[in-house]
A and B are shown apart, each in its own frame.
Chain A
């Protein structure tokens, strides 16, 4: 609820400027709405879930709450997927759920003004443009703005039961 208020307050105050958390997957830079981010922590102690898609690493204990961990690098078919001291989990809050996403690293927090956000072009199969809210251009950098809500609740992520009666 506080998030909704935050959002509306923020939207009213600085109608257009939005803040994004920038993270890297391989050489690419992605960004998600910072208001969706609950915390950032290291990758540790994940319990595997049998028969789940490979990008679902399993579940972990986040202070007593069982949280699923998704590796976006596997989901986006990155070539090298390594787990080390630098591997970072971004814990996000989407659709009343808590989900951890594994990324290669978190670089910074950026404020983008509307002129810097370009519409996303039609993409290939790996990352449907449905899950993008645009492309951010910052000097010579390009940020892929991910609509994390849509992505994580989508059918293909298999994070949410597709039918509510199950």
Chain B
């Protein structure tokens, strides 16, 4: 076992602490700060500092140290908070996060950013509390023990102290491990003792708390006793109470300029730190550990896969039993067992799927910051309201929705909501309103970004579209006009700003959302605001499908793409140049894709009037697909084809049907491209598989 094994734990904890810190900073009311919140921010900084010191992340440790000192003054009311100070604090938090990420990927953190933030924080300390620093009564920054000036255990000032670490009732195996850990922390001067009581004298700059923090991974806090010993001739047994804090502030400043200079202070004979605090922390930790565990996503996915298999096996059994017919009717225990198995399997599947579900709060929690920063940059006043934080969504979707959502929010802030003066002139409140909401709707989740800004200008969009050479007409529906903003390179912003307007992005947003099996809808009213709605499936692993039959083969169409189905009549079918065929459906002409032609299915119905036309929608276009038969709707487990094979044109994935056979899930736009490629190639290609790729290359 190596100390590196604990790195991940630290990284994850630090990440959570930083997130907490940010949340509290954002909620902080600068005029009347809540002391609980200040304490929480301080504690987060302190914990990160402790961990960073333990694991030797010196840059992070020093940054947090300076930050922590400032926070300490703030929570004691010696530092008056202002909005710009909170901004600086947020920046410091960001830099700490970057440092953490750098350490995580085994890189050295950005030295420049580190020096800059240290200087800024230092500057604040000098300007805002310059006088109070000199005041002799300022105690050292000690958590919850501000009175004990002599307790120097907290400050990681570069004191080269000798610490006596006593291990009580520790077995030999654990002991070797602990001694190894101690070697990482400092020089071991001597070690002796037995199982009951083992003493190690350690020379180094780590604090007692840090040692304890490391040891607690292996043994209980009660088993450790740490005290400082005077190694050399003690200079001062009882230090001047006034001297210590000064030394601390010196040390704090020295940290920035030269890091290694220890303050000219002798060893202090410190009493053993009070035991209650770590004990309390430990019990708190134990409590939270029992309520949740960290499991790697791979393991969860494995369970989900296995449960999927179980479901398939169960439905195969079910099929077999129903095939038995009369024989099984008499056997009621078999019947009962089967229905029980079915219920249990479904429940199990639901329970397992819920493991992957995480609340939207994880996404929404970052937006107060985004809105604050963006609004500040644009000089707008914006109130952010989030609704439905507890709505749960598949983890992989949550990760992938964040970027598109950020883009939409920025867009709303930049283009949607007007400047405060403008709003006032229009008779709206100065403060713009942005609502983020999430809720379930059927088998989908609906995420909305709503603003009460200017709304979209139909005429301007159309004019811009013409300018860009897009094919538009005045008779287009509002919905279609609004969808224009998702065209690549489309931006109606009068000028390019820092925030948006380059026209890059909205097309990416749409592509990302479609990649997740979802869609974007826009509702807007000029002068009243815009509502961007993202409709996503609950999970990527399971798809609502419509099974269809062509010839003897079964395919799955994603239900979200299916609009309706109808029986085409001869009068509604029109041939166009070449062998293109369109189907007239309620005054709309839809390109016809005959699946049996595109996918070379044998023994399929070739007469369109005898087949069924399924009207489907893909990437905003509608098509009529000719199939032989509709089998029904069912939920299918999506299986990747590329794992062992390759991407297949016209097919997005595969699934396993109840009888254990594989069915392909069709990709609407892929099929359309394939059908065009095939027609262009004149149907006489020796190897259509390869030729498709060549044809499709430019797109």
Contacts and interface: CB of A to CB of B under 8 A. Distances in A.
A59 B640 CA distance: 12
Contacts of B312: 64
Contacts of B600: 50-51
B644 A64 contact: no
A63 B308 CA distance: 10
B689 A51 contact: yes
Contacts of A159: 645-646
Interface residues of B, number: 36
A3 to B, nearest CB: 16
A65 interface: yes
B639 interface: yes
Nearest to B655: A66
B206 to A, nearest CB: 38
Interface stretch (B85-93, B266-274, B660-668): B660-668
Contacts of B645: 49, 59, 66-68, 97, 159
A164 B553 CA distance: 30
Nearest to A49: B648
A141 interface: no
Given A51-B688, A51-B689, A51-B692, A161 B656 contact: no
A99 B639 CA distance: 16
Interface in B640-675: 640-651, 654, 656, 660-664, 674
Counting chain B CB atoms within 10 Å of each CB, which of A45, A50, A60, A61 scores highest? A50
Interface in A32-65: 45, 47-53, 58-61, 63-65
Contact of B661 (A49, A61, A64, A65): A61
Interface in A49-106: 49-53, 58-61, 63-68, 97-99
A47 B692 CA distance: 21
A52 to B, nearest CB: 5
A52 B648 contact: yes
A67 B312 CA distance: 17
Contacts of B651: 49-50
Contacts of B660: 45, 61
A3 B645 CA distance: 21
A59 B642 contact: no
B661 A47 contact: yes
Contacts of A50: 598-601, 648, 650-651
B238 interface: no
B646 A161 contact: yes
B662 A160 contact: no
B644 A99 contact: yes
Interface residues of A, number: 26
A158 interface: yes
B231 to A, nearest CB: 50
B526 to A, nearest CB: 42
A52 B649 CA distance: 10
Contact of B309 (A58, A60, A63, A99): A63
A61 B662 contact: yes
B483 interface: no
Given A60-B662, A61-B661, A51 B641 contact: no
Interface in A119-166: 158-161, 166
A68 B660 CA distance: 15
Given A53-B689, A99-B644, A161-B642, A59 B654 contact: yes
Interface in B469-493: none
Interface string A10-52: 0000000000000000000000000000000000010111111
A24 B234 CA distance: 88
A158 B692 CA distance: 13
A42 B29 CA distance: 71
The interface centre, meaning the residue of A51, A61, A64, A66 with most chain B CB atoms within 10 A of its CB, is A51
A48 B654 CA distance: 12
B641 A59 contact: yes
A45 B657 CA distance: 12
Contact of B644 (A47, A98, A158): A98
A84 to B, nearest CB: 19
A134 to B, nearest CB: 28
B644 A66 contact: yes
A26 to B, nearest CB: 24
Contacts of B642: 161
A98 B642 CA distance: 11
Contacts of A63: 309
B687 A53 contact: yes
Nearest to A48: B553
A142 to B, nearest CB: 32
A16 B553 CA distance: 49
B305 interface: yes
A66 B10 CA distance: 39
B690 interface: yes
Nearest to B642: A161
A35 B692 CA distance: 36
Given A52-B648, A160-B646, A66 B662 contact: yes
Contacts of B598: 50
Contacts of A67: 644-645
Contacts of A97: 643-645
Contacts of A99: 644
Contacts of B649: 51
Nearest to B306: A64
Contact of A45 (B639, B661, B688): B661
Nearest to B687: A53
A51 B644 contact: no
Interface in B167-187: none
Given A50-B650, A60-B662, A158 B689 contact: yes
B690 A158 contact: yes
Nearest to A68: B645
B319 to A, nearest CB: 14
Given A64-B309, A158-B689, 16 more contacts: A49-B651, A51-B648, A52-B689, A58-B662, A59-B641, A60-B662, A61-B661, A64-B312, A65-B639, A66-B639, A66-B641, A66-B654, A66-B662, A68-B644, A97-B643, A158-B690
The 7 closest A-B pairs by CB, nearest first: A50-B599, A47-B662, A68-B645, A64-B309, A161-B646, A51-B688, A97-B644
17 contacts: A49-B651, A51-B600, A51-B649, A53-B687, A58-B662, A59-B645, A64-B309, A64-B656, A65-B639, A65-B644, A66-B644, A66-B656, A67-B644, A67-B645, A97-B644, A161-B646, A161-B647
